[in-house]
Structure 1
Amino acid sequence: MRLYIAGQTVKSVAAIANLKRICETHLARRYSIEVIDLTEAPHLAVRDQILAIPTLVRRLPAPIKKIIGDLSNEERVLIGLDIHSDGV
């Protein structure tokens, strides 16, 4: 998964923390997170067509899934990423 952020804003920090918590709870060591700070590498936004930040992109398994926001709504994130609450 790739999490696109813009610096260390409140929303960016919250998105990172929320994503790590959700992944540890529901995917326990079966995930990889790449945090991309667009203030340092703005050209990388083109790769996943990022229009808003923070944005989480899951490329595998297909289809590509995107979630915009600070990822504070765990149920929305689980549904958006097609992760079942039992971790399957």
Structure 2
Amino acid sequence: MRIPTRNGGTAMTERYLLRLFISDHTDRSRCALENLEQICAEELGGRYELEIVDILLDPQAAAREQVFATPTLIRELPHPVRRIVGDLADHEQVLEDLELLPILAKGRD
């Protein structure tokens, strides 16, 4: 399933390809997806493409990407590839670990 990018005017041109591997619709997977959608909306504007991969429906994709635990988020682009495992609740840590550059929102210090 692909979720289209949102149009958010920003001076930053860095675009991200993110792939979230989940296992069915467990509470932890739902939580990770909700957290990721919030991070993307608030921090990345329209500079991302998000693909959701359910490993129960596409086990070959998990094998190709060597995903052994869910939820796993992989930043495919830009290179180098970065990955993080967990529910993505700590938004600042997700931004730091995946080296995602947030947009500069009005009113932020």
* Secondary structure class of the residue paired with 2:20: strand
Hey, what does 1:54 align to over in structure 2?
71
Q: Equivalent residues in 2 for 1:1-88 (5 A)? A: 1-85=18-102, 87=103
Unpaired segments ≥5 residues, structure 1: none
Q: Percentage identity across aligned positions?
A: 40
Determine which structure has more spread, i.e. the larger CA radius of gyration.
2
Name segments (4+ residues, structure 1) moved above 4 Å: none
In proportion to residue count, which structure has more strand? Answer: 2
Alignment RMSD = 1.2
Question: Is the 8 Å Cα contact of residues 44 and 101 (structure 2) preserved in structure 1?
Answer: no
Hey, what does 2:7 align to over in structure 1?
none
* Aligned-partner residue type, residue 46 of structure 1: A
In proportion to residue count, which structure has more helix? Answer: 1
Q: TM-score, normalised on structure 1?
A: 0.92
Q: CA deviation at 1:54?
A: 0.3
Deviation by residue 1:32-71 (Cα, 9 ceiling, x = unmatched): 1100001111111122111111000011111100010010
Q: TM-score, normalised on structure 2?
A: 0.75
* Aligned-partner residue type, residue 59 of structure 1: E
